[in-house]
Homo-oligomer: A and B are copies of this chain.
Amino acid sequence: MAYFDNAATTYPKPECVYSFMDEFYRSNGGSSGRGNYQLASAAKTLIDDTRNRVSKILRCPTKQVIFVPSATIALNIIIQGVIKKGAKNIYISPFEHNAVTRVLYNFEKSNKIKVFELHVSENLEYDLERIRYQFDSCSPDFVIVSHVSNVIGLIAPIEDIFSLAKKYGAVTLADMAQSAGLVDTNVGLELFDFAVFAGHKTLLGPTGISGFVMKSDISIPSVFFGGTGYDSANQDMPKSLPEKFEFGTLNVLGIAGLNAALKWIEEQTVANLYLKEKINRKRLISLIEKYEKLSIVGNEGKEKYVGITSCVIDGISSDSAAEIFSSRGIAVRTGLHCAPRAHMFLGTYPAGTIRFSVNCFNTEEDFVKLEEVLDLIESQI
């Protein structure tokens, strides 16, 4: 199996992720990090250490790290909370995932909010001048940007957009599901109010653990409720962070895996992993460009890209292509990638694209296999 579906979940994980999870959960899995016996304090130490490592990688030691089970849950907590607090005019990038747009749509359809798309030019550059006009004509309350598009890998100039948004007093949210731990970013800057990370994607951890960082002095109401092992007599959620948003038993197993992954990334360095992915991306693009029938969607303009590349193949539907790839041992993802609005923007809606996503772990062998299958597909059309 040649794995080109790292945008869905990265695979494999660093060896230490598997081994440390197994070891930690066997010897310390008797605790949810609450209680004060030895196992519980081992879990607490692990959780605190993992929080610190997230802060370090995102360069935001002054911000609060909150663990939740998935990036989708993090986005629900933040977006529903900011809207409940009163945000009406909400700007999003054209590349948002359903984890953002479906949350918004629920409020949009009852006219509680207005959603606008940030202006991106035809050659896929964020047009800050026009975005300023947009903000002038309707002042933003809340600006949400997918830092890296999960369809085409485009990296948004997030600092520039958020700097502008801050001039209008907007709350800002970076969806870093496809960038945390890969695209070096100073989330410690004042202009980031919220940033969401997905443990099992670019952070190379397991499924079941994700989270967000937020400014400690910003406050949003809770939209989900539950036990926190803290301030239990209070029937409101506690006001303190991270407890307010860490309802239910923390996933200690997942946190152990994420901890090992973060350590590994620190050792390798974010810059190095990005470089390796860039090399693999270059390889992938050179390969795809060999074939006349394959066209890359995106990959234009002056913005940068990570190792996620979408294609269409002339004369063959994504679904038929998917079958050929999967039957020949190539893992790719086809269709809309849970981001229909991105495909509308790119002109690939409703059929979608074939998405190849590489990271630092792709090997020479993967590319040889991919080339064989692409040869076959081209010869069959």
Contacts and interface: CB of A to CB of B under 8 A. Distances in A.
B99 A227 contact: yes
A330 B36 CA distance: 10
Contact of A208 (B36, B69, B232): B69
A163 to B, nearest CB: 29
Contacts of A26: 12, 18
A306 to B, nearest CB: 18
Given A12-B29, A29-B11, A35 B225 contact: no
Contacts of A29: 9, 11-13, 206-207
Interface string A18-36: 1001100110011110111
Contact of A322 (B5, B36, B251, B332): B36
B103 A69 contact: no
Contact of A227 (B9, B98, B209, B247): B98
Nearest to A355: B35
A144 to B, nearest CB: 14
A69 B228 contact: no
Given A3-B30, A338-B227, A35 B253 contact: no
A233 interface: yes
Interface string A157-192: 000000000000000000000000000000000000
B71 A331 contact: no
A224 interface: yes
A289 interface: no
Chain A: interface secondary structure? Answer: loop
A354 B120 CA distance: 60
Contact of A22 (B3, B22, B247): B22
B206 A25 contact: yes
A8 B232 CA distance: 15
Given A222-B106, A233-B350, A235-B102, A69 B73 contact: yes
Interface of A: 1, 3, 5, 8-9, 11-13, 18, 21-22, 25-26, 29-32, 34-40, 69-73, 75-76, 97-99, 101-103, 105-106, 198, 200, 206-209, 222-229, 232-233, 235-237, 247-254, 257, 322-323, 325-326, 329-333, 335-340, 349-350
Given A35-B333, A40-B331, A198-B249, 6 more contacts: A12-B30, A38-B331, A73-B73, A76-B226, A99-B225, A102-B237
